[in-house]
């Protein structure tokens, strides 16, 4: 009589790939998650295929960073190379690439800065568009901009179309809140802002009405799929977005949500399997079609047994 189903096919696993390492580097604040070397991707792709997980969300950690984040759109960049390897290893595994500059900029912000250290929205759009085009050329199946600059979906759509990638969909991080739950991710991706925070471009956690406007703006600009992030503290937001659009809706069960469950489970305070399956089911119940989670492999295994 369950109204909501959860299956491995609903899940997306985020992957961190680092340039210039030989072996996986564990992320201290995310037990069970490592930064992977390029050489580990073939085996990873095979494991995911066997588990029935249809897609990965790719993040890159470059060897070098600079003021504009030029590693983000380098043809031989870490995400571009990782995409080629994953697609060669498992052509049916969907590669979703995260488009943002924060892993590539020396200052750690998601856009380029002006002389006062403020993010320049419009100057950043062109760089994001270039990044998206380079991902598509490397074989990415879906482009997922997470930077939260205004107008980025239109800029990316226009650039992809002009480059011949008219069939590549955009999964927009349409409702991304300025959340404390991204803390462990910033260790994993080495992307914490050196100064200031992201409240100038990410959303205010106190706002829910605004989310419908933000989402519909992205849809009007050409988003093919939309997202709410984080998931757990924002299930009401997820429900609102579900009611506002018929597009496929993703929810991102973020790093801090993962770390909380892992820590409690390691202390013996929580039944990890039961807590994770309950959480992922609740995210689906609130309206998500797609759940992006660091627990994806564990969950897929538990769902099979
Ligand atoms: C990049 C980005 C972030 C996350 C995904 N893409 C971090 C941030 O905005 O600081 C967070 C994901 C997570 O916490 O799992 N802009």
**pLDDT tens across 21-76, in order?**
999 999 999 999 999 999 999 999 999 999 999 999 999 999 999 999 999 999 99
**Ligand 1 geometric centre to CA of 185 (Å):** 6
**Structural tokens at position 234:** 């924002």
In a domain, 3, yes or no: no
Other CB atoms within 10 A of residue 182 CB = 22
Judge whether 205 and 230 are in contact, CB under 8 Å.
no
In a domain, 279, yes or no: yes
Judge whether 277 and 253 are in contact, CB under 8 Å.
no
In a domain, 1, yes or no: no
Closest ligand 1 atom, residue 176 Cα:
9
Mean pLDDT, the chain, whole residue set: 96
DSSP one-letter code for 204: P
Does the C-beta of 211 come closer than 6 Å to ligand 1? no
pLDDT-derived band at 101 (thresholds 50, 70, 90) equals very high
In a domain, 197, yes or no: yes
In a domain, 72, yes or no: yes
**Ligand 1 geometric centre to CA of 130 (Å):** 20
Nearest partner of 196 among 253, 92, 104, 114, judged by Cα: 114
Judge whether 253 and 292 are in contact, CB under 8 Å.
yes
DSSP one-letter code for 22: S
In a domain, 133, yes or no: yes
Please classify residue 24 by burial: count the beta carbons closer than 10 Å to its beta carbon, then call 0-12 exposed, 13-18 middle and 19+ buried. Answer: middle
Other CB atoms within 10 A of residue 210 CB = 13
Does the C-beta of 179 come closer than 6 Å to ligand 1? no
In a domain, 37, yes or no: yes
Domain of residue 178, CATH code: 3.20.20.70
Main-chain phi, psi angles of 217, to 5 degrees: -60, -45
Residue 161, SS3?
helix
Closest ligand 1 atom, residue 181 Cα:
14
**Structural tokens at position 240:** 């609102």
Across residues 127-150, what is the average pLDDT?
97
In a domain, 234, yes or no: yes
- Rounded Cα distance between 37 and 204, Å, is 35
Q: What is the pTM of this model?
A: 0.96
**Ligand 1 geometric centre to CA of 65 (Å):** 17
Catalytic residue among 65, 87, 176, 297: 176
Q: Containing domain of residue 284, as a range?
A: 8-303
Judge whether 64 and 21 are in contact, CB under 8 Å.
no
- Give catalytic status of residue 262 as yes or no: no
Percent of the chain surpassing pLDDT 70: 100
Tracing tokens 């030989």 back to the chain, one arrives at 22
Does the C-beta of 146 come closer than 6 Å to ligand 1? yes
Residue nearest to atom 9 of ligand 1 (CA): 182
Residue nearest to atom 11 of ligand 1 (CA): 182
Nearest partner of 83 among 44, 36, 134, 140, judged by Cα: 140
Number of domains within the chain? 1
Residue nearest to atom 8 of ligand 1 (CA): 182
Nearest partner of 105 among 131, 135, 137, judged by Cα: 131
Judge whether 14 and 59 are in contact, CB under 8 Å.
yes
**Ligand 1 geometric centre to CA of 210 (Å):** 20
- Give catalytic status of residue 65 as yes or no: no
Tracing tokens 């892992």 back to the chain, one arrives at 262
Tracing tokens 């901009």 back to the chain, one arrives at 145
- Does residue 271 register a pLDDT over 80? yes
Task: Write out pLDDT tens, residues 184-214.
Answer: 999 888 888 888 899 989 999 999 999 999 9
Judge whether 242 and 290 are in contact, CB under 8 Å.
no
């Amino acid at each position: 009589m369950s109204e909501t189903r959860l299956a491995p096919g609903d899940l997306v696993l985020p992957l961190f790939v680092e340039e210039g390492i030989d072996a996986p580097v564990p992320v201290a604040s995310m037990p069970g998650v490592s930064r992977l070397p390029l050489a580990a991707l073939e085996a990873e792709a095979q494991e995911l295929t066997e588990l029935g997980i249809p897609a990965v969300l790719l993040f890159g950690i470059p060897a070098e960073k600079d003021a504009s984040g030029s590693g983000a759109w380098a043809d031989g960049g870490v995400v571009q190379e990782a995409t080629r390897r994953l697609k060669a290893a498992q052509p049916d595994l969907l590669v979703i690439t995260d488009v943002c500059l924060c892993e590539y900029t020396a200052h750690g912000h998601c856009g380029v800065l002006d002389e006062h250290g403020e993010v320049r929205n419009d100057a950043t759009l062109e760089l994001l568009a270039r990044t998206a085009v380079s991902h598509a050329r490397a074989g990415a199946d879906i482009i997922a901009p997470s930077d939260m600059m205004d107008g980025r979906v239109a800029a990316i759509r226009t650039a992809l179309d002009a480059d011949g990638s008219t069939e590549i969909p955009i999964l927009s991080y349409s409702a991304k809140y300025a959340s404390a739950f991204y803390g462990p991710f910033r260790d994993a991706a080495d992307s914490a802002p050196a100064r200031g925070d992201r409240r100038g471009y990410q959303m205010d956690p106190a706002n829910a009405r605004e989310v419908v406007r933000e989402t519909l703006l992205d849809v009007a600009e050409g988003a093919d799929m939309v997202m709410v992030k984080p998931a757990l503290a924002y299930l009401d937001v997820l429900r609102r977005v579900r009611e506002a659009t018929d597009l496929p809706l993703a929810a991102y069960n973020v790093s801090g949500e993962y770390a909380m469950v892992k820590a409690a489970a390691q202390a013996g305070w929580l039944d990890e399997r039961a807590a994770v399956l309950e959480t992922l089911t609740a995210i689906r119940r609130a309206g998500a079609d797609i759940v992006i989670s660091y627990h994806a492999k564990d969950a897929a295994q538990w769902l099979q047994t």
